[in-house]
Amino acid sequence: MKKIIIYGGKKLHGNINVSGSKNSSLAILASSILFEKKVVLKNVPIVEDIKTMIKLLIYLGKNIKIKRNIIEITNSKKFGKSFIAPYDLVKTMRAGILVLGPLISKFKKAKVSLPGGCAIGARPIDLHLKFLQSIGVKTYIDKGYVISKLNNIKKKNIYRFKKISVGATVNSILASCLISNKIILSNIAIEPEIIDLIKFLKKAGLKIKFLGKRKIEIQGKKNLNQISYDIMPDRIEAGTYMIASAVTNSKLTIKKLNINHVQNTINYLLKANIKVKKINKNSVQIIPGKIKSVSFKTSPYPGFASDMQAQFMSLMNFANGTSKIKEEIFENRFLHVSELNRMGADISIMKNVATIKGIQKLKAAEVMATDLRASVSLVLAGLATRGKTVINRIYHLERGYENLVYKLKNCGAKIKKINV
């Protein structure tokens, strides 16, 4: 088992480069199932979720070459002989379900294990399946697997999601790519990772156009073109390091980000009296101040990202005043609260609202990571707290943050990862 040990209370300095987006990479890697020709992806973060997706693609018959952050994908002779995404390969990540759509689109059938990942709520896949059923896919669940088969594609399909869902939007787009009929999707998620996937597919020759803010039209085609593509920066990682700067009262320059993607986080940092100075279109400097309490609720993009909620909660522990955070995306995403309270935080929960009374100082303690973003919220708390903080069960952290310990250590943090 791996642990992270932090001797906190130290100021950080220097620069941090943001890695490529994990969530964008996962969706685009899943889309490679659609291709007969070579796919080259650049700026891919080599984290555990990516490694798991690569293993899954190899199992399905893809040849994968990795050189630093560049992944080259081609077909082996085995490609097309298996349509199964087994439990052992998807049990650790939610994104495993994203191969369902492209398998249906490419081979008209699929058998995909129900996904795993973080324990932050049920996250059912009914929204995924209802779209597939709307285009003529027969699906049923047997022994933990979604078994699907496309028989007769409906000639005209206009589908509206009852609820905005990133995963269902991705799967529905990928399921539509090689279907010759025109498909219109409305009430879709418009997170930057969705836009990145659409840009990638358009570059590969697919006709997709927006008919409105949350409405797209897809005209499928038989084959997609060979492509080389740069993955967008990870907006959640960028926001996390901005808060690392603020919570340690340090000046840090965050580089290789997309400012537009993190504008919401920047807006709330400004409300919290943290200045954000734009250096250029891809870099900002964080200038800390006396932290003020800020209240907010999570919501689909362009609202406040649920993936930034835990990190911002860590910041609010050091604020002057009381703040409230309402979680409206996932029903079980306050698992980090009990661990922050172990460090002396004063946080209470009523249904889906957390109330944080700023106490300005926490106490170092041994804590347990419960999910990906909860893990990094404990790292942030440890960086800001004098003494020795030990974070257990960090495999969640390794699923989504590339070289986090190295990047923080390079900026002056006293932090290390150990095997026990």
User: Which residues are catalytically annotated?
Assistant: 118
Nearest Cα residue to 332 out of 303, 374, 299, 297:
374
Residue for token pair 């942030």? 380
Report how far apart the first and last C-alpha atoms of the chain are (Å, whole number). Answer: 5
Whether 252 contacts 16, CB under 8 Å = yes
Number of H helices, E strands in the chain: 14, 24
Alpha carbon distances (Å) from 183 to 218, 253, 267: 5, 43, 36
Whether 43 contacts 24, CB under 8 Å = no
Residues sharing a CB contact under 8 Å with residue 405, sequence separation 6 or more, in sequence order: 4, 415, 416, 417
Instruction: Respond yes or no on whether the N-terminal peptide bond of residue 302 is cis (omega within 30° of 0).
Output: yes
Residues sharing a CB contact under 8 Å with residue 294, sequence separation 6 or more, in sequence order: 268, 271, 272, 312, 316, 319, 323
Q: How far apart are CA 102 and CA 108, in angstroms?
A: 9
Q: How far apart are CA 392 and CA 375, in angstroms?
A: 9
Nearest Cα residue to 114 out of 92, 138, 81, 133:
92
